[in-house]
Amino acid sequence: MKNLVKIEFSAEYFNVKDTLECGQIFRFIPYKDGFKVYSKDKCAYCYNMQKNAVIECDRQDEEYFYNFFDLDRDYSEIYEQAKVQGVDILKKAAEYGKGIRILNQDREETLFSFIVSQNNNIPRIKGIIEKLCLYLGDKKEFMCEEYFSFPKAQKMSERSQEFYKSIGLGYRAEYVRRLAENINNGFNLEDLDKLNTEDLKKALLKIHGVGGKVADCVTLFGFKRSDSFPVDTWIEKVYREDFNGALTDRRKITEYFNERFKEYAGYFQQYLFFYKRSGEKNI
């Protein structure tokens, strides 16, 4: 496979499995000793080997996946900041999830994916997104195996709401169909990038079907605004059990963590979420 390149990176702050399984991405599958990861119309094979994380991808996608896995960022500084906050669970969570990196995902794909994720479980989310790609994406090949790209909004806008219901979207079918039509008619997510985080979230909340949690997830995972802190049931559990919080409004809980952790909020959220969901019971 002469067109493949390998990107090797220290594994100290890059655990491929933890990065993929901490709730920020849905398009990946186990493959050999690691995972195949899909983004837009691209695919990479990623795994940890000895003291390195390795990304194998097509030569023309090398820069894309270098940026996708955020390899320019120094996570040692984020990790050390988590440990000096004086919060016991955050210190434990950072140690447990030391290898987590926040991905630089395509904004359009991220928005559609997190709309699909509402009131849904991960196997169903992954299954629905896979069907979207299978039925509406373009056929591609990587490592002699075919896969399908995430569909373009123009192609998605051609399908009816009934189609989206038929692949399992339920009430979310209307949201996906309307968003695809709006993007096809000129709504450009890239235009929102000039907004500050607060105004960006407000703009996302104006999209039909987008609530607070989805807006926070897209702000963090699609726009890489690290001063964003999504709150779900696991984070609510962290807030009540480990921060002795009494607030019940998720919007106010988000504000509490944003004010407390500022530009590190998004990174700390991933540590805390991953630890509470996966790690605490294993310690």
Q: How many CB atoms lie within 10 A of CB 205?
A: 13
Joined tokens for residue 132 = 């979207």
pLDDT digits (tens, 9 = 90+) for 204-222: 999 999 999 999 999 999 9
Pairwise CA distance, residues 258 & 279, whole Å:
23
Query: Are the C-beta atoms of residues 239 and 233 closer than 8 Å to each other?
Result: no
Can you give the pLDDT of all 283 residues of the chain as single tens digits? Answer: 668 999 999 999 999 999 999 999 999 999 999 999 999 999 999 999 999 999 999 999 999 999 999 999 999 999 999 999 999 999 999 999 999 999 999 999 999 999 999 988 999 999 999 999 999 999 999 999 999 999 999 999 999 999 999 999 999 999 999 999 999 999 999 999 999 999 999 999 999 999 999 999 999 999 999 999 999 999 999 999 999 999 999 999 999 999 999 999 999 999 999 999 986 655 4
Count of H-run helices and E-run strands, the chain: 14, 7
Backbone angles phi, psi at 237, to 5 degrees: -65, -45
Q: Which pTM does this prediction carry? A: 0.94
180-187 LR contacts (CB < 8 Å, sep 24+): 180/112, 180/153, 180/156, 181/157, 182/207, 183/108, 183/153, 183/157, 184/153, 184/154, 184/156, 184/157
Sorted by sequence, the CB contacts under 8 Å of residue 70 that are 6+ apart come out as 101, 102, 103, 104
